[in-house]
């Protein structure tokens, strides 16, 4: 029966990792509003969309202002999509605001204004991918779902596989490895998912991991292997200055602050290079973030 014993032993180790992570999380987790018991599924969905590629410190004020204005999906769905872009401010990647508006409209029309609690209808919402759907199912509805982002991939890769990093994208193997760590009881599994994410964000960080603070350091495969370096080329840091993304942000800033449609002449002054400026403006129009109006004027979309 050696095979059965091996499976049983892995279950014990995996469960212990989750239990240690949850104990640490209960004592050390950051006090974030979307983690409060009264944070509903809509608030959690908004937070997950805002937190994509954006630090917590930048998200907090935007999140609070957003929910103060649109506390329900129906409230956002009843407003113009351009207002969502305006409220998004300087969070970056403003298409997320447009997708969130589309998502709110779908929730209002298909689900009676209530964020669905099943994975398939969550995945069917506009702009909601595999990670966001599982995060809402786990954190809002206390379901047993492997919630895997960059931080979780790194934590699981180190603790279980002994690798320095979990890679740049989530693969089916990452979901399987994370699911194997989750307790069987759904609410406890959801707590473990939050704990893994927090550990990856503040302790098991990419460049300077704080192993002495880690609750699973004594059973971490990466630490036991001597913390081997990551193999292969490192991921290049994305630049911002001088890119089309910067120009798009400058153009949107003018439109967000304007009450009336903006003539092209006002947009021309935000960037000196006309070819790049026109390319950025065309990109905003193609993405549905800007509406061109008669008379060579531009505005945020109104519906």
pLDDT for the residue 9: 38
Does 102 participate in catalysis according to the annotation?
no
- Res 232: pLDDT: 53
CA dist., res. 228 & res. 2, Å (int)? 30
**Structure tokens that stand for 62 in this block:** 């935007």
CA 233, CA 65: separation in Å to the nearest integer?
Answer: 40
- Summarised one tens digit per residue, pLDDT across range 238-285 is 678 889 999 999 999 999 999 999 999 999 999 999 999 999 999 999
pLDDT of residue 95: 95
What is the band of 4 on the pLDDT scale with cuts at 50, 70, 90?
very low
Work out the mean pLDDT of the chain and round it to a whole number: 92
161-205 pLDDT tens trace: 999 898 889 999 999 999 999 999 999 999 999 999 999 999 999
From CA 213, how far away is CA 82, in angstroms rounded? 45
- Compute the average pLDDT of residues 89-95: 92
Q: What are the pLDDT digits (tens) for 105-160?
A: 999 999 999 999 999 999 999 989 999 999 999 999 999 999 999 999 999 999 99
Contact between 179 and 172 (Cβ < 8 Å): no
**pLDDT digit string, tens, across residues 32-57:** 999 999 999 999 999 999 999 899 99
Residues 172, 130 contacting (CB under 8 angstroms)? no
pLDDT value of residue 43? 98
Which candidate in 7, 8, 15, 48 is catalytic? Answer: 48
């Amino acid at each position: 029966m050696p095979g059965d014993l091996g499976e049983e032993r892995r279950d014990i180790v995996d469960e212990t990792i989750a239990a240690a992570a949850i104990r640490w999380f209960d004592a050390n987790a950051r006090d974030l509003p979307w983690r409060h018991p009264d944070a509903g599924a809509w608030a959690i969905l908004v937070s997950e969309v805002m937190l994509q590629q954006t630090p917590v410190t930048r998200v907090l004020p935007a999140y609070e202002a957003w929910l103060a204005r649109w506390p329900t999906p129906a409230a956002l769905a009843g407003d113009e999509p351009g207002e969502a872009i305006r409220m998004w401010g300087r969070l970056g990647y403003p298409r997320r605001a447009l997708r969130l508006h589309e998502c709110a409209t779908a929730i209002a029309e298909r689900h009676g204004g209530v964020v669905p609690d099943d994975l398939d209808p969550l995945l069917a919402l506009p702009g909601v991918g595999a990670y966001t759907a599982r995060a809402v199912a786990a954190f809002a509805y206390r379901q047993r779902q492997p919630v895997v982002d960059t931080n979780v991939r790194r934590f699981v890769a180190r603790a279980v596989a002994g690798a320095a990093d979990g890679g740049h994208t989530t693969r089916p193997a990452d979901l399987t490895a994370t699911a194997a760590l989750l307790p069987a009881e759904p609410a406890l599994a959801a707590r473990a998912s939050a704990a893994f994410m927090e550990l990856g964000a503040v302790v098991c960080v990419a460049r300077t991991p704080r192993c002495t603070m880690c609750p699973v350091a004594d059973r971490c495969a990466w630490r036991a292997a001597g913390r081997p370096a990551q193999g292969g080329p490192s991921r290049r840091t994305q630049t911002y200055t001088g890119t089309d993304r910067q120009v798009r942000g400058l153009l949107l800033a003018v439109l967000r602050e304007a009450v009336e449609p903006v003539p092209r002449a006002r947009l021309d002054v935000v960037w000196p290079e006309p070819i790049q400026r026109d390319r950025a403006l065309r990109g905003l129009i193609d993405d549905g973030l800007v509406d061109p109006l008669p008379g060579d004027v531009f505005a945020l979309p109104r519906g």
